[in-house]
Amino acid sequence: MITNDTPVPVRTAPPHQPPPENRFGQVEAVGVEFIPESERDSRPLNMLAVFFGGNLAFSVIVFGWLPISFGLSWVSAVTASAVGIGLGTVLIAPMSLLGPRTGTNNTVSSGAHFGVSGRMVGSGLTLLFALAYAAIAVWTSGDALIAAAHRLLGTPVDDGMLALGYGIIAAEIVVVALFGHGTVVALQKFVLPVVGVLLLLGVVAFGGRFDPGAGGGDYLLGSFWPTWILCVVLAVGGPLSYAPTLGDYSRRISRTRFSDRSIVAATMGGIFFGLFVTAAFGSFTASTFTTLGDSYVVDLVTEAPGWYVLPIVLIALAGGLGQGVLNVYASGLDLEALIPRLRRVHTTLITSALAVLLLYVGVFVVDAVDSITAMTLVLNGFAAPWVAINVAGFLVARKGRYDPADLQVFNEGRRGGRYWFTGGWNLRAVIPWAAGSLFGLLAVETSLYTGPLAHLANGIDVSLVGSSLIAVVGYLLALRLWPERVDPVDGGDPRLSPQ
């Protein structure tokens, strides 16, 4: 094994007391470096609040509207959402345990499987997911603001006003994301009950017109099952998008104070119920619309009773903020992981600008609905094999044991360590991931792009399942045929305590 004896400074803090920079209203100083046990002040309930509250936003609700716009009834849409979200949540659940073991975020932790340089695969994927979903958060909430202003005040709905609405939402998101973890967690604890009550009011507002058997029209893919399975695949994308970011929050949970079971249960509960409740609300309201336009929130504002327009504005402001900060905060951390010489505050500003640029391209250049569908399906094809390899690596290759010091090699400009492999890349994981991603790209079908293998299963989308299976089977086969030379973590590292 290649070793490095350079001491790594370990910061100290009073037991179980949050460091000043992790409190509400204080700018977080920590990036992706190791967080020692003494500074881990979070708890599993915070995971529940973050991922439940962060999903109560129009950018997530819109994924419940899509199945209705594809021709499904409310019942069919909800079952597709439940199956997809459930499968995705189960797949990513073990990844909530990486952070407490490694003291860093999941993309840096993935270096134990992909290599300390190969972990850049995960950082790149996280950055793409975060930028895309941040753009959707700004788009949907901005549209809601301008549509509500038009109905209440008679202001115009044009490109200038839309740009103003997007700017307002983007500004509030960026400000909170810059403060970091402590402020983000506190915000989600506020968003969860407030937006939750507003959504319940929406059930009252639209309940009189609800018909669970009503459909949205002709099936997008010509028949029921291919369209339903497409909606399942889209729903899986919700949990998958969170897989790389779980460690942003779980890394601050102490393993000596909280069990793995409590962390997994809180994470799964927050993600599943947060995504499912909002998707069901989106399908519920969309099924009552007289006509389905190109923007869910515009239709929502147009068809809502007058008394519910102001609650829609509040959902746009609070919910858009809650969802947006999750993604912008994650994007800042992962750009820092790619460019360690930059600080988190700087990278957050850079990624915020990129998210706004992506938003304008998606809304003003490409049809927004087509953009969402294509983006989700294509990113799923790249993310699913990455998640599958990390889960297999956690359960099989590492058996839950990691060396935090050797995971920080890339960030600290060092070489060597347990996870150096071949020049910092573990080809046993990188090659299967690339093969699975290639299949996912070739087998996907969207209105913007159709792969040559898209009709492999007579119209049924197999891009996600196929890409995952190819990746995980290839990785496990590579481990057997080409065993890794990684010394076991025995707790003898004097620099950092292996987890």
Give domain limits for the chain.
Answer: 45-372
Q: State how far the alpha carbon of 111 is from the alpha carbons of 9, 394, 402, in Å.
A: 21, 11, 10
Distance CA 117, CA 127 (A): 16
> Under CATH, to which class is 45-372 assigned?
mainly alpha
Residues of the chain with pLDDT > 90: what percent? 60
- In single-letter form, the type of residue at position 121 comes to V
Please state, in angstroms and rounded to a whole number, the distance separating the CA atoms of residues 461 and 378.
12
Could you report the per-residue pLDDT of 137-178, keeping only the tens digit for each?
888 899 999 999 999 999 999 988 988 998 899 899 989 988
Site of tokens 């400009």: 413
pLDDT at residue 366 is higher than 80: no
Q: Give the C-alpha separation, 284 to 203, whole Å.
A: 8
Query: Distance from CA of residue 439 to its chain's centroid?
Result: 22
Q: What percent of the chain has pLDDT over 70?
A: 90
Q: Give the predicted TM-score (pTM) of the model.
A: 0.88
The DSSP code for 492 is -
- Give me the chain's average pLDDT, please: 87
DSSP secondary-structure letter at 384? H
Question: How sure is the predictor about 491, in pLDDT bands with cuts at 50, 70 and 90?
Answer: very low
Least confident among 26-35, 37-46, 173-182: 26-35
For residue 406, give Cα distances in angstroms to 33, 98, 100, 389, 485: 12, 15, 16, 20, 14
Say what the pLDDT of residue 277 is: 97
| Bridge partners, residue 323, by sequence | none
368 pLDDT exceeds 70? Answer: no
